[in-house]
Amino acid sequence: MNQVPDFLTASHAVLLSDLAALVNVDCGSHNKAGVNRVGEWIGARCAAWDWAVERFPLADYGDCWSARLDGNGAGRLLLMGHLDTVYPDGTSATRPMRFEGPKIIGPGVCDMKGGLLVGMYALRSLQIAGFQDFEEILFFFNSDEELGSPGSRPLYERRARGMDAALVLESARANGDIVSARKGSGEFHLRITGKAAHAGVEPEKGANAIVELAHQILALNALNGLAPGVTVNPDVIGGGTVSNVIPAEA
């Protein structure tokens, strides 16, 4: 097993180069081409390392990928990581990956291009060392995690069944603590219907949907802290048509 740290030490510079290659790609969840570019890069690298690679096309999101390493022992392990980020198009051009002292800064360095590469290089080190005391290690790369995995969930749930353990390679807490659980989340769309009217001539005949939405947003925001760990985040809003019309929808 001495070959494992030797390989990782020797691969340090290459890993950092690989990290830059992945970070400096715009791959927000809705950027299918960018997510696919990252997935294709990873798929090609895994194939070059003689892993069994499979691609799972998705219509509305980037494609998912898996890479499998077979052993001759017992135990099946699932590793998971996601290809997408939360950053809008153009982010990688305005602030590409850079070094600030001991820190590496860039869109998706921690969440989670670094996690993908750490997992890949860990498996590669076992392969280089000839370690095969497992039945199967499957690395699944999903493409829409930042949206709640609407397209990839059926794919990875099916593969998680029968595994002895599953590890998601997101980053640890700032103090180094391992994250062993995450709270769930839900997404809700609130539509307000008002009544349109001319804002200057007859505003009294209208009902302003944006004003009502503002009241509802404040009420929802007041739910923060209602119970331990409960957080509510009003996010994307819209409403109205033109400035001289009472908004009928928001």
* pLDDT digits 0-9 by tens, 183-239: 888 889 999 999 999 999 999 999 999 999 999 999 999 999 899 889 999 999 999
Average pLDDT over residues 167-194: 88
- Contact between 84 and 20 under an 8 Å Cβ cutoff? The reply is no
pLDDT at residue 142, as a whole number: 96
* pLDDT digits 0-9 by tens, 6-20: 999 999 999 999 999
* Cα angle for residues 23, 24, 29 (degrees, 5° grid): 65
Q: How is residue 194 written in tokens?
A: 């008002």
Closest CA to 29 of 100, 104, 84, 98: 84
List residues with catalytic annotation.
84, 145
Tokens 């992945």 sit on residue: 22
Using CA atoms, how far residue 160 sits from 3, 39, 80, 168, 230, in Å, is 30, 20, 10, 12, 28
* C-alpha span between 79 and 48 (Å, rounded): 19
- The pairing of beta strand 136-142 with beta strand 98-100: unpaired
Q: Return the DSSP state at 112.
A: I
Q: How is residue 223 written in tokens?
A: 């739910």
Does the pLDDT value for residue 120 go beyond 90?
Answer: yes
* pLDDT digits 0-9 by tens, 46-100: 999 999 999 999 999 999 999 999 999 999 999 999 999 999 999 999 999 999 9
pLDDT at residue 11, as a whole number: 94
Using CA atoms, how far residue 93 sits from 38, 40, 67, 164, in Å, is 16, 20, 30, 41
pLDDT interval class at 157 (50, 70, 90)? very high
Helix (H) or strand (E) run with residue 19 in it: helix 12-23
Q: What domains are defined for the chain?
A: 3-168 (3.40.630.10), 188-250 (3.30.70.360)
* pLDDT digits 0-9 by tens, 18-28: 999 999 999 99
Does the pLDDT value for residue 176 go beyond 90?
Answer: no
* C-alpha span between 59 and 249 (Å, rounded): 31
The burial class, CB within 10 Å (0-12 / 13-18 / 19+), for 17 is exposed
Average pLDDT over residues 145-170: 93
pLDDT at residue 2, as a whole number: 85
pLDDT at residue 182, as a whole number: 78
- The pTM assigned to this predicted structure is 0.81
- Say which residues have a Cβ less than 8 Å from residue 240's Cβ, sequence separation at least 6: 209, 210, 247, 249, 250
* C-alpha span between 143 and 30 (Å, rounded): 10
pLDDT at residue 5, as a whole number: 92
